[in-house]
Amino acid sequence: MIEGFGCTRALAVMAAVCWLGTGCTGGAPDAPPNVLLVTLDTLRADYIGTYGFEAETTPFIDALAERSVVFERAIAASARTAPSHASILTSRWVRYHSIGHVNGTTRLLDEPTLAEQFAAAGYDTAAFVSNPLLTRRIGLDRGFDVYDDELSVSARSGVVERDADATSERAEAWLGAERDKPWFAWVHFQDPHGPYTAPPPFERVELRAQPDEVPLPPLSNPSGYKGIPDYQVLEGVHLPSEYRSRYAGEIRYVDAAVGRIVAAAENSSPPRPLVLLLTADHGESLGEYGFWFAHGFTTMPEQTHVPLVLMAPGLKPQRRSELVHHVDILPTLLHAAGLPVPETAQGVALGPLLSEALDAWPDRIVFADIGTEVGAFQQDRMVRVFLFFGIGRKDPSSWEHWRWESDGSMTRREEDMTLRAPVSEYIARQPPLNETVKIDPAQAKRLRALGYLDPESNR
């Protein structure tokens, strides 16, 4: 199992200063940097320009990527919102944090969080979230001075969420305040999440024509299997390409908000170095294996391949193909700020791995986990394990072996026994689930409106 560095603060500061290229000879470190974490809900990597998408969906993210490190193969901890964000904020695999695979009724226990580390180091901290699954009742607010989770029914989508304009307005106001201390901010944008109803002029992005496509029937459930999930149905819209075009429109809309947030962070006063990391909590199925416009039910790349873009002073822009994961975010950001990484961290700080002197990437296995299915990735290999009787089952029922090709496609391959022992060890882990958060009928209705499957039964 990959563990954190657990280095002393002095060593961490020295390492970060060397990484930033400002003082390897032991001179006084620069001012602590501001740190911005941006998470985008439901954004699959291959719909982003810098990840090869066919149309212009992300001019601002692409511009950011030009001056950043772009990790081409980043894997999400889960295909669900709450578990992935818990892994991002704690650097724990899904089976090692107390939210587990559950999406909305478990609560984070005492795992050290990213915000707590920054708060303890004297940072001002704030979070701005836009999805009802991320409100403070699940415990991700720990360590934040400000946790802005004021959500209401969106006039645009008709469901409880906050659109990118409203969230960025709040975040920009906070980032624009004059302050003596450095800050850490987490901004979560909801918009690529269905229903795909971006405001004008972002309603849709013109995509390549699909001449032979067949209209999809609307479903009366959120599964998306061979039809349009109930929460995604747009009146009079039946063609898959039209939904994909509107999904791309949502991305174009949220990209503009990313541009505003980045500008606000870079213009923060007084001026400080800025460390910025952008990722997504999970992707979205757009027809793969018969599933449309939904997520949360598979660990295949359409739902777990996410962007990961890292910018920091002195860090040379580059593209990397090594496998990275949500659990790497906490160590990476703390290390970049010269702060110690807690021993509980299961990821690695990516900054030091980018330098030639320390170019020794761990040949590790990373996990995507939805409770009933675990996807284990190692380089271009993937093992997909089905756990039909749910979490806690120690005798997996079936394994699939895949190769993740360089073009992003998946091909089946021969059984590979070398992954069986470490993956079995991970699956056998009993998660410390803390299912204490009750959902009242009104909250359940809000979550169903976003397609979440039966939140009362913790799926």
Tokens at 383, concatenated: 């093992």
Q: Of the two residues 133 and 175, which places its CB atom closer to Zn ion in the complex? A: 133
Q: Are 109 and 139 in contact (CB under 8 A)?
A: yes
Q: How many residues bind Zn ion (CB under 5 A)?
A: 3
Query: Least distance to Zn ion from the beta carbon of 294, Å?
Result: 11
Q: Which is nearer to Zn ion, 41 or 161 (CB)?
A: 41
CB nearer to Zn ion: give 41 or 72. Answer: 41
Comparing CB distances to Zn ion, the nearer of 61 and 133 is 133
The CA-to-CA distance between both ends of the chain, in Å, stands at 27
Residue whose pair of structure tokens reads 């001056």 in the numeric block = 67
In DSSP terms, 306 is beta-bridged to 74
For residue 433, the minimal CB distance to Zn ion (Å) is: 19
Q: How far is the CB of 282 from Zn ion (least distance, A)?
A: 5
> Which residue is nearest to Zn ion, using beta carbons?
81
CB of 133 to Zn ion, least distance (A): 7
Interface with Zn ion, residue 284, by CB under 5 A: no
CB 333 within 8 A of CB 277: yes
> Does 281 interact with Zn ion (rule: CB under 5 A)?
yes
Q: How many CA atoms lie within 13 A of 41 on its CB side?
A: 30
Single out the segment in contact with Zn ion by CB under 5 A; choices: 37-45, 136-144, 315-323, 417-425. Answer: 37-45
Q: CB of residue 129 vs Zn ion: minimum separation in angstroms? A: 11
Contact (Cβ atoms closer than 8 angstroms) between residue 92 and residue 426 = no
Whether 73 and 79 have beta carbons less than 8 Å apart is answered as no
Closest distance between Zn ion and the C-beta of residue 438, in Å? 21
Q: Which is nearer to Zn ion, 124 or 373 (CB)?
A: 373
Residue placing its CB nearer to Zn ion in the complex, 5 or 47: 47
If one asks whether residue 41 binds Zn ion (CB under 5 A), the answer comes out as: yes
User: Cβ–Cβ contacts within 10 Å for residue 235, how many?
Assistant: 5
User: Which range in 79-87, 108-116, 297-305, 357-365 contacts Zn ion by CB under 5 A?
Assistant: 79-87
Rg (CA), the chain: 21
Is residue 115 within 8 A of residue 184, CB to CB? The reply is yes
Question: Of 161-169, 198-206, 274-282, 302-310, which part binds Zn ion (CB under 5 A)?
Answer: 274-282
By the 10 Å C-beta count (0-12 exposed, 13-18 middle, 19+ buried), 410 is classed as middle
Q: Which is nearer to Zn ion, 88 or 277 (CB)?
A: 88
* Helix, strand, coil tally for the chain in percent (to 5): 30, 20, 50
Residues 6+ apart with CB under 8 A from 110: none
Partners of 374 in beta bridges: 369, 385
**Minimum Å distance from CB 382 to Zn ion?**
21
Binding span for Zn ion by CB under 5 A among 25-33, 58-66, 76-84, 299-307: 76-84
Instruction: State which of positions 127-156 bind Zn ion (CB under 5 A).
Output: none
Residue 426 · residue 419 · CB < 8 Å:
no
| Nearest residue (CB) to Zn ion, 81 versus 434 | 81
Tell me how far, at minimum, the Cβ of 41 lies from Zn ion, in Å.
4
Residue whose pair of structure tokens reads 């952008």 in the numeric block = 278
Rounded CA separation 49/57 (Å): 6
175, 265 contact by CB (below 8 A): yes
Q: Under rule CB under 5 A, which residues in 168-227 are in contact with Zn ion? A: none
Q: How far is CA 444 from the centre of its chain?
A: 23
Instruction: For the CB of residue 297, give the shortest distance to Zn ion in the complex, in Å.
Output: 13
Segment lying near Zn ion (by CB under 5 A), choices 40-48, 170-178, 196-204, 266-274: 40-48
Q: What does the binding site for Zn ion look like in residue numbers (CB under 5 A)?
A: 41, 81, 281
